[in-house]
A = this chain, B = another copy of it.
C-alpha cells in the first residue's frame, strides 16, 4: 500500500490514489480531488515543458503536515497528497490532492485549503521551458 502523502518522479494513477483514500472508511460519501496539470501557456508565454525541484525531506514533511492539519481542522475522514518532481510534459499530471468525508462540503473545503496551503508552505519550485529559455517561476511573494 503506497503512502498517502509523497513526492515522486513517476506519474501517479488517479484511480489508485482515490482508492487508497477511500478504503479508510465505508462511511465516506464524498471524495473531492484537485488535479494540477501542465498547461501549454503561462502569463502569455508558450510553454513546452516543466521541471520541478524540491527540498528533499522538508517538502515531504510539509505535505505530511498539511494532511495532519486538514484531518484536525476539517471534518474529513482521510486525505492523500502526491506531487511529482523532475521533467513534466504539457498535459501531464503534476499534483493530486484527494479529500474524503461523509458529506461533500467538508471535502470541498479541505481540498481547496490543502492546495492553497501546499503552494504557500511547501518548498517546491517550477521551471518553465519557453521558446526564449528556461524560467524559474516565483508565485509566492
User: Across the two chains, which residue of chain B brings its CB closest to A103?
Assistant: B39
Which residues on the B side are within 8 Å of A111 (C-beta)? Answer: 32, 108
B22 near A91: Cβ-Cβ < 8 Å: yes
CB closest chain-B residue, reference A115: B104
A29 to chain B, nearest CB (A): 4
Residues of chain B with a CB closer than 8 A to A15's CB? 13-15
The CA-CA distance from A96 to B95 in the complex, in Å, is 20
Distance from A50 Cβ to chain B, minimum over Cβ atoms (Å): 11
Which one of B90, B107, B112 lies within 8 Å of A26 (CB-CB)?
A: B90
Which residues of A line the B interface, CB within 8 A? 13-15, 18, 22, 26-41, 90-91, 102, 104, 107-108, 111-112, 115
